[in-house]
Amino acid sequence: MIEYLIGVDGGGTGTRALVARRGGPVLGQGEAGPSALGQGIESAWQQIELAIARAFDAASVARPPFAQCALGAGLSGISNAPWRDAFLAQNPGYPKLLAETDGFTMLVGAHEGRPGALLAAGTGSIGEVWRADGTRASVGGWGFPVGDEGSGAWLGLHAMRIAQCAMDGRLPAGTLARRVWAQCGEDAETLQAWCGRAGQFAYAQLAPAVFDTEDSDPASAHLLARAVAELEAIAHALDPAGTLPLAVLGSVGQRLSPRLSPALLARCVAVADGPAAGALTLIRREVETDR
């Protein structure tokens, strides 16, 4: 008999778990380290279990047997079929285990389980939609460096290209290029070495320089305008008819959202809750409607 419901949000920077009694409110929450599947399936399960244990501790409830719990998890990397299969195969004993993308659980949480669209832009970017007829779709999210348009990493990558061009004379050295040099290297050898070891997260750390130099460097202003256009393209592809409410999340998304077109701004709604709550909503629906 399932007595407890668990919702988990697992990504590349951390894991958050919510626990609730079946038919009842949230009792407690817990956090642990990263559980993105690309960082290892065994490690992901370890961090998920740690976050769950801490959530039960916060609720002052002794950790119940797996057989009494149902788990809904929104995880980075779950769309990769081999990773998903390996994750499910290592289920430690949950009689019901629902594994979704973190983007979808983010969407469900943002709209409190109702149909809607989601545009998320932080380090990366992705769009998700859940339509009234129950169909779903994702737009973007192809990953860095090919995709993630309009994200922090995308902005940083383009800022680095500008800095490189300025260093060898293909562009004038504006304030953006000089900020990148100061942060990553003021000579060609140092700059190239930085690029050789940098990944998505490191490039995303250059995004604030683009915002900070917008008023003093036309290159920054142009780059931010391009980012807005990329995010708008994702939003339009999600809902061409423009009928669904749109939630905009992520550090870059929230900073750029006031610049969206009037039509998109008119559809924007406040984010109701987070992805862990979305995962809890999904597993609650599956368990509490089970016959």
Q: State the pairing for strand pair 69-75/96-101.
A: parallel
Is the pLDDT at 208 greater than 60? The verdict is: yes
Residue pair 77/118 in contact (Cβ under 8 Å)? The answer is no
Average pLDDT (158-175) is: 96
pLDDT band at 290 (very low <50, low <70, confident <90, very high): low
pLDDT at residue number 291: 46
Tell me the per-residue pLDDT of 115-135, one tens digit each, with 9 for 90 and over: 999 999 988 888 999 999 989
Tokens of 61: 């409830």
The structural architecture, per CATH, of the domain 4-112+272-288 is 2-Layer Sandwich (3.30)
pLDDT band at 142 (very low <50, low <70, confident <90, very high): confident
Average pLDDT (40-68) is: 97
pLDDT band at 279 (very low <50, low <70, confident <90, very high): very high
Count each helix (H run) and each strand (E run) in the chain, helices first.
12, 9
C-alpha to C-alpha distance for 227 and 63, rounded to whole angstroms: 46
Q: Can you spell out the DSSP letters for 19-65?
A: EEETTS-EEEEEEES---GGG-HHHHHHHHHHHHHHHHHHTT-----
On the question of a common fold for 4-112+272-288 and 152-267, the answer reads yes
C-alpha to C-alpha distance for 112 and 71, rounded to whole angstroms: 18
CATH of region 152-267: 3.30.420.40
Annotated domain spans of the chain:
4-112+272-288, 152-267
Residues in the chain: 291
